[in-house]
Amino acid sequence: MKNVLLIATGGTIASGYTEEGLAPKIAAEDLLQYVEEYQEFCRVNIVQPFSLDSTNIYARHWLELAGLIEERYSYYDGFVICHGTDTMAFTAAALSYLVQNSRKPIVITGSQKPINLPVTDARTNLLDSLRFASDDRAHGVNIVFGGNAIAGTRAKKERSKSYNAFSSINYPNVAALCDGKIVFYIDDKDRISGPAVFYHALNEKVLLLKLMPGMDGSVLERLFPHYDAVVIEAFGVGGLPEYGQVPFYTEIRRWTDAGKIVMMATQVTHEGSDMEVYRVGRVIKEDFHLMEAYDMTLEATVTKVMWALGQAEAVGQPRGQERSGLFRRLFYRTVNHDLLLFSL
């Protein structure tokens, strides 16, 4: 029988009604009383580092969760994190970078309705997650939700109310769960060698900027003092507009000359970026050696930029070509199936 650590962080699954709306209220110990069938296949201990609506979760909490798993890693066969759905994909991606090469499963789950309601998805999701975390084939960071296991870097919340809230973007589901059975579509645990690797640094000074028609580059001028990197969510396969009183070209030069990171991504959910298709993308990519996210999700792109910057700073790399080179190598290294269309 497997030993699993349940890490409760709040979210809808543990929420109750208040005068101001739903808020986390249900104690971590009380979650398990709704899924007593888990006792057939695992033993569970519980820890609750915080209790928050996931809107309030950010990099500090990701580091705390990774540290908690690292401290207890040798004592458990798997980990299940109960989490709110709104930022769950960001947390799953961040943990994929902070905890790498894990032969043990780290599962993130939650629900669209509280666990104590008569009709809810919470009980199924929690029981599925405990079952997945107890399976010998499971490993690494995955979201288990709505009957699917999704790689932590490939998940995106695409529905705000439906039970099938999450989709796997540009990559197959890892597994399907139904009626107490797990069918693996991606069964690659044998490829892992060596111990799990834990990282302890993220750079939070990363901005995600979504382009809109008519926007000019002056927005980057105002943001320049406050951020070390910007991920630009461009149109289509990627590019930057040439209009405006302050051209984007001018501001990209300011950022890159200062050793800051400019990462291009796309607003289009599926199939990824390819800046070399159109002039508006190719010219600026070639002139500034800009990086792009290709088929990665925005959640994975943002958190991987935070992680790669954090590692470059942790080894004392000053801004410049050496730091940019290290960042590029780290970012373009595939982690937990996050990047398929690019090769160095």
Active centre residues (catalytic): 12
Instruction: For residue 32, give the H/E element and its range.
Output: none
Are β-strands 181-184 and 175-178 bridged in parallel, bridged antiparallel, or unpaired? antiparallel
List CB contacts of 51: < 8 A, sequence separation 6 or more: 8, 9, 10, 14, 24
The helices-and-strands tally (H runs, E runs) of the chain is: 9, 18
The one-character DSSP state at 199 is -
Structure tokens at 118: 């008569």
Q: How far apart are CA 88 and CA 70, in angstroms?
A: 20
- Side chain identity at 90, as an amino acid letter? F
User: Tokens 């009604």 label which residue?
Assistant: 17
Taking the CA atoms of residue 110, residue 113, residue 115 and residue 117 in that order, the dihedral angle to the nearest 10 degrees is -170
Between CA 151 and CA 158, with CA 96 as vertex, the angle to 5 degrees is 45
Q: How far apart are CA 318 and CA 44, in angstroms?
A: 45
| Beta-sheet strands, E only, within the chain | 2-8, 15-18, 21-24, 42-47, 78-82, 99-100, 105-109, 140-145, 148-151, 155-157, 166-168, 175-178, 181-184, 197-198, 206-210, 229-234, 261-266, 291-292
Cα–Cα distance list, 340 to 94, 155, 178, 296 (Å): 18, 15, 29, 8
| Beta-sheet strands, E only, within 41-168 | 42-47, 78-82, 99-100, 105-109, 140-145, 148-151, 155-157, 166-168
Residue 109 C-beta-side C-alpha neighbours within 13 Å: 32
